[in-house]
Chain A
Amino acid sequence: GESVGLHLPTLSVQEGDNSIINCAYSNSASDYFIWYKQESGKGPQFIIDIRSNMDKRQGQRVTVLLNKTVKHLSLQIAATQPGDSAVYFCAERANYGGSQGNLIFGKGTKLSVKP
């Protein structure tokens, strides 16, 4: 079946460096993508989203890039801080059939920030 997957399950970076978390998706019908951050013991928290008619979207210290040609999504975190340590999930919206509105989540990437 179609699913969202992640290239790297774990990522360790030095405080102050930039982080890049990657995600591959296989459903070309997906039209909306979200990145979530999940800290230990908490529910996922929205970071940033992007629609399929966009290639790039920037937030505060975060940028999401979408490459529809290769079905690839990435999250860039600038000047990574210890508080960024968490598991990051990408999710795609299944825009087909009766599942419109559902999010399909990837397995997640754990980001560890070294002081």
Chain B
Amino acid sequence: DAGVIQSPRHEVTEMGQEVTLRCKPISGHDYLFWYRQTMMRGLELLIYFNNNVPIDDSGMPEDRFSAKMPNASFSTLKIQPSEPRDSAVYFCASRAGTDISYNEQFFGPGTRLTVL
């Protein structure tokens, strides 16, 4: 398996523009997580899905952020409109859900977002 795949790896955009980040989880994994990483706040969980259904989106900073998982192999995180304070590295992670005690999350390489 190629692991968790994220695209793009780098995104530079101007304030006010829409940004869409993409993630393909590891095949067979039932859970998908979106994280944001900054120097100031570290790794923050934004939202996670179980079997394509959003379970907890309490970490989504505001209404400008939205996430979807239309099928088991694809998820998007959208920011509209983007702001400079959204600049961060966004990680997608997935894990198997068959054993709740086995909690290793596999992370993608991340998307570095810069909003000018």
Contacts and interface: CB of A to CB of B under 8 A. Distances in A.
Interface of A: 32, 34, 36, 41-46, 49, 51, 89, 93, 98-108
B34 interface: no
B107 A34 contact: no
Interface of B: 4, 31, 42-43, 45, 48, 50, 55-56, 91, 93, 95, 97, 100-101, 103-110
Contacts of B50: 101
Given A32-B101, A101-B31, A102-B56, A45 B45 contact: no
Q: Is the interface of B mostly helix, strand, loop or mixed?
A: strand
A45 B109 CA distance: 10
Contacts, number: 52
B103 A101 contact: yes
A9 to B, nearest CB: 11
Given A102-B45, A108-B42, A32 B107 contact: no
A39 B36 CA distance: 16
B36 to A, nearest CB: 11
B103 A93 contact: yes
Nearest to B107: A43
Given A34-B104, A101-B31, 11 more contacts: A32-B101, A43-B91, A43-B107, A44-B43, A93-B103, A100-B100, A101-B48, A101-B50, A101-B95, A102-B56, A107-B42
